A = this chain, B = another copy of it.
Amino acid sequence: MTADMEIICVGNELLIGKTLNTNAQWLSKQATLLGVVVKRVTVVSDDVAEIAAATQEALKRKPQFIITTGGLGPTFDDKTLEGVAKALNRKLEVNPEALSMVKEKYEAYATELHKQTVELTQPRIKMATLPEKTQPIRNPVGTAPAVQARIDGTTLIVLPGVPKEMEAIFEESVAPMLKQASGNKVFHERSIYADNIMESGLAPLIDKVMQDNAGVYVKSHPKGEENKPHIEIHLSTMVTDAEKPEEKLQKAITQLSSLIEKAGGKVFTNENRT
């Protein structure tokens, strides 16, 4: 059984094209490298109903993990926890463990800023206000704790959107969970590059190689144009080390390279045709 995951990204800045969704790529890559299959990424706005709907829809598909990013901060438009609470039909309440995490941060900030105290205002308490029956996760580099909950077979993890914070929490607390769930499967990938063969001419050769090499996925990515073809061919497999992934990939590459050359194409091992 393969462990699977969905990602939900929250933020108007993604939907107006102001911000490139590097968080989705980073999370997808890390999960894949840890042997977890990312099935879907959903991006919604800073809107409670939208966040709740996306969360409920993802829960219905029963992935092993759902990771959300964004909308955990102190401002009015940080609405992810409200959306998640609505999705789970749970109340929001100040979580004592989260509150002590937030308090500790502001005490440290006060010291650093040479102030006697930094008051625990409503926007600051908001970061410790979680849906009932969820647990805070330590944020090693920022203020807002992340949150986790178990809903039937799904582990829901709510991360902040600031990349540095999201990445630090993922590495400290989330990666170990994914690794355990994936059961030692690891993602292996290689690319070769082909010139002088159109993608439409390559198509039947890829079909053949995928038929002959079970477990190896082959996908062409045109980098040139159909009539001036320069095509990246990406080969990947997600298996345990016992299944000899590098040998599997090499066997597929050898066969594919030979088929391409027979068809009049040229094969390179890197993008710059060397």
Binding site for B on A (CB under 8 A): 12-22, 24-32, 37-46, 50, 54, 57, 73-77, 105, 108-109, 112-113, 118, 121-124, 127, 141-143, 162, 187, 189, 198-204, 206-207, 210, 217, 219-222, 225-227, 234, 236
- Once the chains bind, are A21 and B25 in contact (CB under 8 Å)? yes
CA distance A234 to B18 in the complex (A): 10
A-B contact pairs, 5 of them (CB 8 A): A73-B200, A75-B220, A109-B227, A112-B227, A142-B226
Top 3 closest pairs, chain A to chain B, by CB: A17-B29, A17-B28, A74-B200
- Once the chains bind, are A204 and B14 in contact (CB under 8 Å)? no
CA distance A252 to B30 in the complex (A): 41
- Once the chains bind, are B17 and A143 in contact (CB under 8 Å)? no
- Once the chains bind, are A38 and B24 in contact (CB under 8 Å)? no
- Once the chains bind, are A39 and B28 in contact (CB under 8 Å)? no
- Once the chains bind, are A25 and B29 in contact (CB under 8 Å)? no
CB-defined contacts of A124 to chain B, threshold 8 Å: 200
CB-defined contacts of A112 to chain B, threshold 8 Å: 227
CA distance A217 to B201 in the complex (A): 51
Work out how many copies of this chain go into the complex: 2
Given contacts A42-B40, A200-B124, A227-B113, whether A222 and B16 have CB atoms under 8 Å apart is no
CA distance A31 to B17 in the complex (A): 9
Given contacts A50-B40, A200-B143, whether A16 and B187 have CB atoms under 8 Å apart is yes
- Once the chains bind, are A13 and B234 in contact (CB under 8 Å)? yes
Question: Could you say which of A27, A39, A43, A210 has the most chain B C-beta atoms within 10 Å of its C-beta?
Answer: A43
Give chain B nearest CB distance to A87 CB in angstroms. Answer: 15
- Once the chains bind, are A28 and B50 in contact (CB under 8 Å)? no
Within 8 Å by CB of A226, from B13, B45, B109, lies: B109
Give chain B nearest CB distance to A269 CB in angstroms. Answer: 17
Given contacts A121-B200, A219-B12, A227-B113, whether A25 and B20 have CB atoms under 8 Å apart is yes
- Once the chains bind, are A73 and B14 in contact (CB under 8 Å)? no
- Once the chains bind, are A105 and B226 in contact (CB under 8 Å)? yes
